C-alpha cells in the first residue's frame, strides 16, 4: 500500500542523512520544508520534498492543507505496565506528605508492587495495551517500557512477559527494560543485600535467558539504591549484555549521573537535582541525559536544568515517565509544553529532544525519530495550526489529527 500525504503546510524533522542524535546548539535546528509531500510505501518513508516534485499518484492520498507533519514522538522512559492508579497518594501529597515519606511507609512503588503481584498477566496485558493505544493517540511512535512493579522474581518476569506480548502484537517499536532495582521490598528492608543478590543471581539470569529485556535500570537515589549497589547491579546486567538506562538524581544529587557515565549507560533519566559537576561528567560521553518534566510538574520538584545542559553543549532527550505514582500521564505534547515553559527549551529543541534524541535513548535512531528515506513511516499529522510553536503553546488542546505507525493509520 502506498500513501501520499500532500499539500503539507510544513514537514518538520527532515534529514537527508540519518543522524543518531543532536546536541548543544544543533538542538535548535529542526530542518523543515514548506508546501511539502511525503510518500509512504508499505511501512517506510520512501520520498518527501516540495510539492513541485510530488509524485503523480499513490494508492491512497491524504490532503494536509494547513496541517503539519512531524516524526512521531519517541518516548524513551515509561512504566505503562501497572495494576492500579494511586490517586489516594496524590491526595496525601496535597495534604502535606512527601513522595519519600509515602514511600518509606510502604506506599509508592511498594503499593504498586502489592497490586501488581495480585493481578493476572492477562489483566495486566489488557490494561497496558489500553495505555499503549492511548499514548499513540497522543503521537507516540516508539516507546520504552520498564518492569519494576513486580519486585519478586515471579512478578518481575510477569511484567516483562507482558511487555514481550505488547512487542509481538503491535507494530510500534518497543524496548523493554528490567527494573528489578526499583525499590527494596519491605521484607528485605533490613537485609538489602539479600534482595540485591536475588536481582543479580536469580532475576537477571532468567530475564536474560528468556531474552525478556533490552536494558537494565536501577533507581539510584536517596532512599532507594546507593551508588555502590547501582554499580554492582549494572555490572551484573552488562555480563548478560544488558546496557544500563538508569533513574538518577530525581530526589537528590545522588552520584547517579557519575555512576551512569562510568557504567556507559545509554541514558541517565530524571536529573531534577544537578550541579555543575554532573553537567561536566556528561560532556563527551555517549550517555543521553533524559528529562521528564511532567514528573517535576506532578511532584512539584525543581525542573532539570535543560537550558544549562544544552548551552554546555550536551544533548537532551524528553520522555513522559508515564507511571501511576509520579506521572500519571503519557501525553508527550504536554511534556513539550513543560520543556518550553519551565525549562526554557525552544519548540525546535523540544521537538528534537522528543524525537531523534528519544530514539537515540532506545537505540532506534536508524528506524525512527526523523523524516528520512528508509525510516519507518511513524508520523504525526496535526490539525490546522499556524506554526510549530503552536504545539507546545496551546498546551491544553488536542492538536493531533492522525497518527501512522509503520505506515498504518493508528
Q: Which residues bind Fe ion (CB under 5 A)?
A: 321
Nearest alpha-carbon partner for 337 in 398, 269, 394, 270: 394
Which of 44/97 has CB closer to ligand NIG?
Answer: 97
Which of 219/404 has CB closer to Fe ion?
Answer: 219
- Identify any residues that bridge with 71 across adjacent strands, giving them in sequence order: 379
How many C-alpha atoms does 50 have within 13 Å on its Cβ side?
Answer: 2
Which of 111/346 has CB closer to ligand NIG?
Answer: 111
Nearest alpha-carbon partner for 180 in 123, 219, 142, 132: 219
Which of 149/404 has CB closer to Fe ion?
Answer: 149
Which of 109/265 has CB closer to ligand NIG?
Answer: 109
Helix axes 153-169, 121-137, angle to 10 degrees: 50
Helix boundaries (H) for 95-200: 99-104, 109-117, 121-137, 153-169, 192-198
> What's the angle, vertex CA 368, arms to CA 325 and CA 268, rounded to 5?
45
Which residue has its beta carbon closest to ligand NIG?
Answer: 325
Per partner kind, with CB cut-offs from 5 to 8 A, the member of ligand NIG, Fe ion, none near residue 349 is: none
Largest distance between two CA atoms of the chain:
70
CA-to-CA dists, residue 51 to 30, 47, 375, 376, angstroms = 20, 12, 21, 21
Taking the complex as a whole, how short is the minimal distance between the CB of residue 292 and ligand NIG, in angstroms?
Answer: 7
Taking the complex as a whole, how short is the minimal distance between the CB of residue 376 and ligand NIG, in angstroms?
Answer: 27
Which of 73/225 has CB closer to ligand NIG?
Answer: 225
- Identify any residues that bridge with 3 across adjacent strands, giving them in sequence order: 40, 60
Which of 293/305 has CB closer to ligand NIG?
Answer: 293
Query: Mapping DSSP to helix (H, G, I), strand (E, B) and coil, where does residue 199 land?
Result: helix
By CB under 6 A, name the binding residues for ligand NIG: 108-109, 112, 219, 247, 250, 295, 321, 323-326
Taking the complex as a whole, how short is the minimal distance between the CB of residue 345 and Fe ion, in angstroms?
Answer: 20
* Residue-wise DSSP of 236-272: HHHHTT-EEEEEESSSS--SHHHHHHHTT-SEEEE--
> What's the angle, vertex CA 274, arms to CA 312 and CA 250, rounded to 5?
135
Query: How far is the C-alpha of 311 from the C-alpha of 327, rounded, in Å?
Result: 27
Per partner kind, with CB cut-offs from 5 to 8 A, the member of ligand NIG, Fe ion, none near residue 156 is: none
Taking the complex as a whole, how short is the minimal distance between the CB of residue 354 and ligand NIG, in angstroms?
Answer: 17
Amino acid at each position: 500500500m502506498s500513501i501520499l500525504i500532500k499539500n503539507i503546510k510544513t514537514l518538520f524533522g527532515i534529514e537527508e542523512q540519518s543522524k543518531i542524535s543532536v546536541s548543544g546548539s544543533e538542538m535548535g535546528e529542526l530542518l523543515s520544508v514548506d508546501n511539502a509531500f511525503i510518500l509512504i510505501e508499505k511501512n517506510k518513508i520512501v520520498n518527501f520534498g516540495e510539492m513541485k516534485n510530488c509524485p503523480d499518484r499513490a494508492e491512497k492520498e491524504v490532503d494536509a492543507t494547513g496541517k503539519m507533519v512531524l516524526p512521531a514522538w519517541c518516548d524513551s522512559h515509561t512504566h505503562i505496565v501497572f495494576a492500579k492508579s494511586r490517586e489516594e497518594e496524590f491526595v496525601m501529597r496535597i495534604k502535606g506528605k512527601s513522595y519519600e515519606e509515602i514511600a518509606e511507609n510502604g506506599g509508592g512503588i511498594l503499593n504498586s508492587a502489592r497490586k501488581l503481584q495480585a493481578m493476572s498477566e492477562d489483566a495486566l496485558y489488557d490494561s497496558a495495551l489500553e495505555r499503549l493505544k492511548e499514548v499513540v493517540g497522543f503521537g507516540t511512535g516508539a516507546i520504552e517500557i520498564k518492569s519494576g512493579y513486580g519486585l519478586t522474581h515471579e512478578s518481575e518476569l510477569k511484567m516483562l512477559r507482558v511487555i514481550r506480548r505488547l512487542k509481538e502484537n503491535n507494530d510500534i517499536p518497543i524496548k523493554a527494560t528490567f527494573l528489578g532495582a526499583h525499590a527494596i521490598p519491605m521484607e528485605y528492608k533490613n537485609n538489602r543485600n539479600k534482595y540485591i543478590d536475588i536481582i543479580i543471581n536469580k532475576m537477571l539470569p532468567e530475564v536474560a535467558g528468556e531474552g525478556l529485556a533490552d536494558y537494565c535500570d536501577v533507581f539510584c537515589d536517596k532512599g532507594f539504591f546507593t551508588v555502590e549497589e547501582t554499580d554492582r547491579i549494572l555490572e551484573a546486567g552488562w555480563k548478560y549484555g544488558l546496557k544500563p538506562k538508569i533513574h538518577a538524581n530525581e530526589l537528590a544529587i545522588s552520584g547517579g549521573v557519575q555512576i551512569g557515565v562510568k557504567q556507559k549507560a545509554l541514558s541517565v533519566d530524571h536529573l531534577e537535582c544537578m550541579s555543575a559537576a554532573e553537567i561536566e561528567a556528561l560532556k563527551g560521553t555517549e550517555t543521553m541525559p533524559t528529562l521528564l518534566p511532567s514528573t517535576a510538574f506532578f511532584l512539584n520538584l525543581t525542573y532539570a536544568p535543560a537550558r544549562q545542559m544544552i548551552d554546555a553543549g550536551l544533548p537532551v532527550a524528553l520522555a513522559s515517565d508515564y507511571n501511576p505514582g509520579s506521572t500519571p500521564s503519557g501525553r508527550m505534547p504536554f511534556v513539550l509544553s513543560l520543556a518550553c515553559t519551565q525549562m526554557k527549551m525552544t519548540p525546535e529543541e523540544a521537538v528534537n529532544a522528543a524525537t531523534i534524541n528519544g530514539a537515540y535513548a532506545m537505540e532506534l535512531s536508524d528506524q525512527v525519530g526523523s523524516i528520512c528515506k528508509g525510516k519507518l513511516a511513524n508520523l504525526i499529522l496535526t490539525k490546522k495550526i499556524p506554526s510549530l510553536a503552536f504545539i507546545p503553546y496551546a498546551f491544553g488542546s488536542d492538536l493531533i489529527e492522525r497518527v501512522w505507525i509503520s505506515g498504518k493509520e493508528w
